[in-house]
Amino acid sequence: MNCIVCNSPLLNTIFNNTLSKCDSCGFVTCSDEYTNEELNQIYSSNYFNGGEYLDYLSDELAVRKNSRNRLKQIQKVFHDYRPENILEIGCAYGIFGDFIRSMYSNSRYSGYDIAQEACHYGQTHFKINTICQDFLAVDTTEIYSDVFMWDVIEHLPSPEKFIEKIAQKTVTGSRLFITTGDIERLLPKFQGEKWRQIHPPSHLHYFSKKTLSLLLEKNGFDVKKVFYPPISRSVKQTWYSLFLLNKKGGYLSKKIYEKIPKNLFWSVNTYDLVFVVAEKR
């Protein structure tokens, strides 16, 4: 396949053929192909409870803290920020949706996710418009003022198609906010294939500030600001991600994990998670 960012056919495999890297722009993607059925199966209830996340809902306080910090950064770029019609792709349980609605009660909100249990939770617990559908398959006439993609673009089989559709469903002045890992930062370059973000088929694509900016600009968005913010996580989830997720984990790692309190949180900045703020031309 050609590069989804610059359309170059020159992709070479790296990391024992696990990933492919574009010789032209540097975009990195998973070498293997997966069917929609295989990918959908990943995002069952187990994904948020013992799969990629230990217990997603137990991290709600951390998710809300991250949401609050990201909103502060958005307000630094857009000083009189007032979202009108909000779209969130990859809304999970709707925690961010509930937060942004509490901050801007006059705004409309729609969140899309393919995880049925998570969407149902948002509908029933937070009473917000979380929709269990693939946004690409939805025929909507909605035009959005603000689109949020928190740590989701790396999961999408065809992220370029999502950006294309977002471009169609926004107008001049609409805003797009994306967070994802940046594979060109110091830590991933040092760790190589052992970088914690590399775990296909959950993570299929690996952007950098450069390649994500190129994809957005190609679809009519100007990058207004790029942040590398700290992120709040439960200590238990962090330990799980680093030492137990997709790994056998030694006896000592498991014992330490069992002793960590669920309500213990911390904020860390590894400077490899990029937050891109863009505006439609």
Specify the pLDDT at position 42.
84
Specify the pLDDT at position 250.
79
CB atoms within 10 A of CB 118: 25
The packing angle between helices 159-168 and 209-218, to 10°, is 40
The rounded Cα 110 to chain-centroid distance in angstroms is 17
SS3 165: helix
Asked whether residue 100 is domain-assigned, the answer is yes
Summarised one tens digit per residue, pLDDT across range 198-254 is 989 999 999 999 999 999 999 999 999 999 999 998 898 888 878 887 665 678 888
Asked whether residue 98 is domain-assigned, the answer is yes
Summarised one tens digit per residue, pLDDT across range 26-58 is 999 999 888 877 887 888 767 887 777 777 888
Asked whether residue 102 is domain-assigned, the answer is yes
Domain extent, residue 57, equals: 36-233+272-280
Asked whether residue 150 is domain-assigned, the answer is yes
Asked whether residue 15 is domain-assigned, the answer is no
Asked whether residue 67 is domain-assigned, the answer is yes
Summarised one tens digit per residue, pLDDT across range 60-87 is 989 999 999 999 999 999 999 999 999 9
* Residue 129 near residue 110, CB atoms below 8 Å: yes
Specify the pLDDT at position 36.
77
What does the alpha-carbon distance between residue 128 and residue 126 come to, in Å, rounded to a whole number?
A: 6
* Count of structural domains within the chain: 1
Asked whether residue 17 is domain-assigned, the answer is no
| Closest-CA residue to 234 (of 93, 73, 64, 115) | 64
- DSSP assignment of 95-106 equals HHHHHHHHH-TT
Specify the pLDDT at position 248.
59
Asked whether residue 21 is domain-assigned, the answer is no
Share of the chain above pLDDT 90, in %: 77
Specify the pLDDT at position 87.
98
Does a cis peptide bond (omega within 30 degrees of 0) precede residue 159?
A: no
- Read off the CATH number of the domain in which 184 is found: 3.40.50.150
